[in-house]
Amino acid sequence: MPSRHRRRLALLVPVTAAALVGTVVTVAGPSPTVQAAVTGSAAAPAAVPATIPLTFTNNSRRAEQVYVYNLGTELSTGRQGWADANGTFHPWPAGGSVPVPAPDASIAGPASGGSMTIRMPKFSGRIYFSYGQKLVFKLATGGLVQPAVQNPSDPNRNILFNWSEYTLNDSGLWLNSTQVDMVSAPYAVGVKRPDGSVATTGRLKPGGYKGFFDALRGQPGGWAGLVQTRSDGTVLRALAPGHGIEAGALPAGVMDDYINRVWTKYAGSTLTVTPFANQPSVKYYGRVSGDVMNFTNSAGAVVTSFQKPDSDSVFGCYKRLDAPNDQVRGPISRTLCAGYNRSTLLTNPNQPDTSSAGFYQDGVTNHYSRKIHAQMTDGKAYGFAFDDVGAHESLVHDGDPRQAYVTLDPFD
List pLDDT tens digits, range 66-111. Answer: 999 999 999 999 999 999 999 999 999 999 999 999 999 999 999 9
pLDDT (0 to 100) of residue 15 = 26
Q: Flag whether 272 is in a domain.
A: yes
Same domain, 122 and 161: yes
Same domain, 198 and 317: no
Same domain, 117 and 214: yes
Same domain, 373 and 361: no
Is 74 an active-site residue? no
Q: How far apart are CA 174 and CA 24, in angstroms?
A: 23
Is 181 an active-site residue? yes
Same domain, 302 and 377: no
Q: Flag whether 2 is in a domain.
A: no
Active-site option among 74, 154, 170, 181: 181
Half-sphere exposure of 209 (CA within 13 A, CB side): 16
Same domain, 129 and 270: no
Same domain, 329 and 403: no
Q: Flag whether 345 is in a domain.
A: yes
Residue 380, domain CATH:
2.60.110.10
Same domain, 96 and 166: yes
**Total domains in the fold of the chain:** 2
At residue 30, does pLDDT exceed 50? no
Mean pLDDT to the nearest integer, 212-236 = 97
At residue 282, does pLDDT exceed 90? yes
Contact 246, 150 (CB under 8 A): yes
Residue 306, domain CATH:
3.30.920.50
Same domain, 276 and 203: no
Domain enclosing residue 159, as ranges:
13-248+369-408
Same domain, 84 and 182: yes
Half-sphere exposure of 309 (CA within 13 A, CB side): 27
Q: Flag whether 70 is in a domain.
A: yes
Mean pLDDT to the nearest integer, 272-283 = 97
What is the percentage of the chain residues whose pLDDT exceeds 70? 89
Same domain, 115 and 213: yes
Q: Flag whether 7 is in a domain.
A: no
pLDDT (0 to 100) of residue 157 = 97
Is residue 144 classed exposed, middle or buried when 0-12, 13-18 and 19+ CB atoms within 10 A define those classes?
buried
Mean pLDDT to the nearest integer, 374-395 = 98
Same domain, 126 and 226: yes
Strands 271-273, 350-351: parallel, antiparallel or unpaired by DSSP? parallel
pLDDT (0 to 100) of residue 46 = 59
Confidence class of residue 47 from pLDDT cuts 50, 70 and 90?
confident
Cis peptide preceding 352, ω within 30 of 0: yes
Active-site option among 74, 154, 165, 409: 165
